[in-house]
Chain A
Amino acid sequence: MVVETEIYKKLHDLSERIRHLLTNSVTVSIEPENLLCSIECNVDALPVVCKQLVSRIGLSFATMIVEESNEEWLIQYVFYSSRIHILVNVMVRQEIDNPSFPSMSSIVHALDWQEREAEDLFGIVFEGHPVLGDFVLHEEWPEGVNPMRRTFRPEMPYPHKETRPEWQPRRILQEPGAFMMPIGPIFSGISESAHFLLETVGEDVVRSIPRFFYKYRGVEKIAEGKHPMEVVLLAERFAGTSAFAHSLAFCHAVESIAGVEVPERAVQIRILFAEFERFRHHISCIEAICNSTGLAVAASQAAILEEEALRLSCEFAGHRYLFGLNIPGGLSKDLSKEDCTGLLKRTDNILKRLDRLYKMLQYSSSFLDRLEEVGIICTEDAIDYGLVGPVARASGVCNDIRKALPYKGYENVEFSVPCETEGDGYARLRVFFQEAFQSVMIMSQTIERLSDEPIYIPIKDYPEGSAIGWVEAPAGAAFHYVRIDSRGRVIRYRLTTPSFTNWHGFHLAAEGFAFQDFPIILATFGLSIAESDR
C-alpha cells in the first residue's frame, strides 16, 4: 500500500505540474495502477504540450501509436520519466476524414521516422514534416494505398507494378568527382537485407542514406484479428535474435489487460532467460565486431562461445533461440533445481572465457586502431535522436529501461548499468562486454532466491482494453502496445523496437569516416534489421 500511495503522490504532483504549465488547454488524468498520467489535448495545443513535457519536465520519448476507429483518428505520444519511473501519454484526436496532424519531429527528433512510417501505412499527413513518403512502402506501391487502414485486406499478395523502379534519392554533393556508392540490398557474406547509399567525394563518407523495410513483413497488420496466443508467436519470431525479450514485452501488455499477476517463479525465470538472451546476443555482437575488423581468431573464439550459449538454451529451454517459452500467463517449461545450477555453472564457464577474450582484445593494438575514434556519436546527438540501449550508453546516455521503468522482477536485483562516454566503436564494444558480465550476475542473483510457485497461470479470457508492455531488449528499449477488442482478439499491435530507434541515428556515426570503416561501424551498432523492419 505504501508503494501505491507513493506512486499516486508522484503522479498527482506531476499532473499538478502539467496542469500548471499548460493551464487550460489540456485535461489531465492519472491511473496509478498503470503508472500512467494521461493528457488529452486538441491538435493545436500539441506542440506546446510536447515542448513542455520534453524541455521543462525532462521526459524521454517512448513510442507513438496511431489508431483508427469508425469516427476518428487517435494518436498517442507516449513519454516516460526515468526519474520518477512513470509513463505520460498525450492523446490527440482528429475526425476520420481529416487525417492531418502537426509534425512534432522538430520538437522530438525521434518522431521523425515514426511519422514517416505512419504516413506510409495510414496515410496521415504530418504538416511541417520535411520528407514524407517512400519509407516503408517502396516505389512499387501505388500512391494512396495504406496497408494499416482498417479497410485494407492483408490476406493476399498485393498486386502492384512488376518492373523494378530505381531508387534515386537526391544528391547533395555537387563537386567534381562526387559519387554515390550503393551497398545492398543484398550484401556480401551472410547479412540482412538493407540498402545504404554512401555519398562521397573520395575517401570519406559525407552522407549516408539508408533505405530499410526490404524485410517489411507487415507484422503489425497480420497480428490484427488474431488471438493473443497466436500473436505471441509473431512477437517472438519477427526478431529471432531477441525473441525472448519481445515475447516478454508482449506478455506484459496482455497480462496487464487481462489483469493477471503471473506467479513470482515465472517472473524470476523470465528474468533468468531474458538476461541469458542478452548475454548470448552480446557475444554475437562481439563476434560480428571481431569479424568486421578481420581478426579471425577472436571471431572464431566468440563464435564458439555463442554456439555454446545456443546449446545451453536448447538444453535448458528446449529451443536454441528460446522460442516457445514465453506464453501469456507465464512460461511453458519449468527448470528444476539441478537445471538452474547447471545452467549457471556453464554460463559462468562461458563468461570466464569471454573475460579472457576481452583482456586479449584490449591489448590487440591493430584491433583497437580500427575501433577507436571511429563511428563517433556524441552525447548531445544521442539525446537528440533519443537513442537507446548499448549504443546510447556508449555515448554517455546512461538510460536503461530496467532502471528507468523497472518492470516485474527487476526491483529486487542489484546490477549496474555500464556506461561509457567516448561514443566510438571501442566504447560500444566495452559496453557489450560489460553488459554481458552484468547479465550473468543478475542470473545468479535470481537463481539464489527462486521461489516455489507454479510457472504458469492460465488466462481464461481477455477483456476489452489496451496496454503497453515494455522491456529492455538486448538492443535497447522496446515498447509493445496491444489493444484487444470485445471478442478477445488483438485489433491493434504496435511495436517500437530499439533497432528502429537506433538506425535513425546510425548515419551520424557513418558520416565523416572512411569507406573501409563502414562495415566496422555497422557491426559496432549491433542492430538487427528484422527488428527494425518488422
Chain B
Amino acid sequence: MSKWVLKGLETGVKTTVYPEKTETASGVTQGRPERLELLKDKRSVVNICPTGAFKINKNIYEIDLTRCIHCLRCLRSPEFPPAGWTGDYEWAFSVSEKTMKGPFSHCLHIRVVDGGACRACLCEISQTGAPYYNIHRLGFFITPTPRAADVLMVAGPVTDHMRFPLKEAYEAMPEPRAVVAVGTCALSGGIFGRSFASSGGVSEILPVDIAIPGCPPPPLAIIHGLLILTGRRPSLSVIDKPESRRKDK
C-alpha cells in the first residue's frame, strides 16, 4: 500500500487557485456568448441560435444563458461573423433571495440528484470533488442521504419519471435547504425542452435558488454557484457590470 501513498505525494498539489485567484489554465471552461451591440450583420448570427438564447433589448442583443446549450454555432458559423464570446466561468447567478451564510457557509452538504441529465453535467459535478477542483477544501461535501443535506443539486430537465423521486428527496431534507439547478437542461429543459417526457426544468417542480447555466457548466462554474449560495462570491448580474469585474489576475 505504501506505493500508493508515495504515488499520491509524488503527484503534488493540482488544485485550482480559484476562488482566491482567477484560474488561467486553458481548457477549464468553454466560455460563453456575450452581449452584443446591435450591428446589422449580427442579426443573422442571432437567427442561427437553435434555442433562441438571444434577446433584443433596446440596442443590445442580450444572451439568455439559461437557454444557451453551448452549441458554439454563433461562434463558428461559416457564413456569419462570430458573436461576442468570453472565456470566463463565473456565470452562475442567484434566482431567489436565499443564502446560506453564517454557520453553514463552510460546511455545506450536497445531495446530487440526476433528473435525466445526459451525464456530462454529472461528470462535471464529480470533477468538482476530484483533485483539480477539490471542493472539500471549501467546505462543500457530497452526501449520500437527503436527510443530512443542506443543498439539493439537480441536473437534467427532470423527466416525467423522476418527478416523484425528486420531490421525495426534497421533502426528506431538513430546513433550511436550498436547490441548485446545474446545467441548461435543469434551467429551461435545454435541448429537450418541455415535452411529454420532460418537465422543462427544475423550477417546474421545486423552487430553485441558484442557477448554474452551461451545457455542461464547467466545474469552476459549479463551484461559483456554491460560493454564491454561501455568500462568498457575487452573483453574475453583479460581476457582469464592467466596473465591478475582478482586477486580480
Contact = CB atoms under 8 A, between A and B. Distances in A.
B114 to A, nearest CB: 5
A241 B1 CA distance: 32
In which size bucket is the chain B interface?
35 or more
A158 B160 contact: yes
A100 B107 CA distance: 59
A446 interface: no
A364 B4 CA distance: 9
A313 interface: yes
Given A158-B160, A190-B112, A332 B76 contact: yes
A192 B154 CA distance: 11
Interface in A283-334: 284, 295, 297-298, 300-301, 303-304, 306-307, 310-315, 318-321, 323-324, 332-333
Contacts, number: 215
A215 B76 contact: no
B191 A186 contact: no
A314 B29 contact: yes
Given A304-B132, A310-B127, A314-B28, A215 B162 contact: yes
B138 interface: no
A217 B162 CA distance: 11
Contacts of A319: 30, 70, 72
B14 A304 contact: yes
Interface stretch (A34-42, A83-91, A147-155, A387-395): A147-155
Interface stretch (B55-63, B96-104, B118-126, B241-249): B118-126
Given A158-B160, A304-B131, A314-B27, A297 B7 contact: yes
Contacts of B8: 297, 300
Contacts of B130: 300, 303-304, 306-307
B29 A217 contact: no
Nearest to A356: B7
A156 B196 CA distance: 5
B206 to A, nearest CB: 14
A485 interface: no
A214 B4 contact: no
Contacts of A153: 196
A288 to B, nearest CB: 9
Could you say which of B116, B127, B216 has the most chain A C-beta atoms within 10 Å of its C-beta?
Answer: B116
Majority-rule SS of A interface residues: loop
B207 interface: no
Contacts of A320: 27, 30, 120, 124, 216, 218
A324 B29 contact: no
Contact of A216 (B26, B126, B161): B161
A530 B144 CA distance: 21
A240 B197 CA distance: 18
A433 B200 CA distance: 38
Nearest to A229: B50
Nearest to B48: A229
Contact of B73 (A215, A238, A310, A332): A332
Contacts of B39: none
A528 B121 CA distance: 13
Contacts of A410: none
Contacts of A332: 72-73, 76
B38 interface: no
Contacts of A214: 116, 159, 161-162, 165
A112 to B, nearest CB: 21
Nearest to A155: B195
B192 interface: yes
Contacts of A312: 27
A142 interface: no
A367 to B, nearest CB: 9
A456 interface: yes
A176 interface: no
Interface of A: 138, 140, 147, 152-158, 164, 185-186, 188-193, 213-219, 221-222, 229-230, 233-234, 237-241, 243, 284, 295, 297-298, 300-301, 303-304, 306-307, 310-315, 318-321, 323-324, 332-333, 360, 364, 366, 456, 458, 528-531, 533
22 contacts: A154-B196, A155-B196, A157-B196, A189-B144, A192-B117, A215-B159, A216-B197, A217-B195, A222-B192, A222-B193, A233-B69, A300-B130, A301-B11, A303-B126, A314-B28, A318-B76, A320-B218, A323-B70, A323-B72, A324-B73, A458-B78, A533-B116
Given A222-B192, A300-B8, A311-B27, 16 more contacts: A154-B197, A156-B194, A186-B114, A217-B195, A217-B198, A222-B197, A234-B191, A240-B119, A240-B121, A284-B123, A295-B4, A300-B130, A307-B132, A312-B27, A456-B78, A533-B116
Shortest 4 CB-CB contacts between residues of A and residues of B: A240-B120, A311-B27, A188-B144, A303-B130
Interface of B: 1, 3-5, 7-8, 11, 14, 25-30, 50, 69-73, 75-76, 78, 112-127, 129-132, 142, 144-145, 156-157, 159-162, 164-165, 168-169, 190-200, 215-216, 218
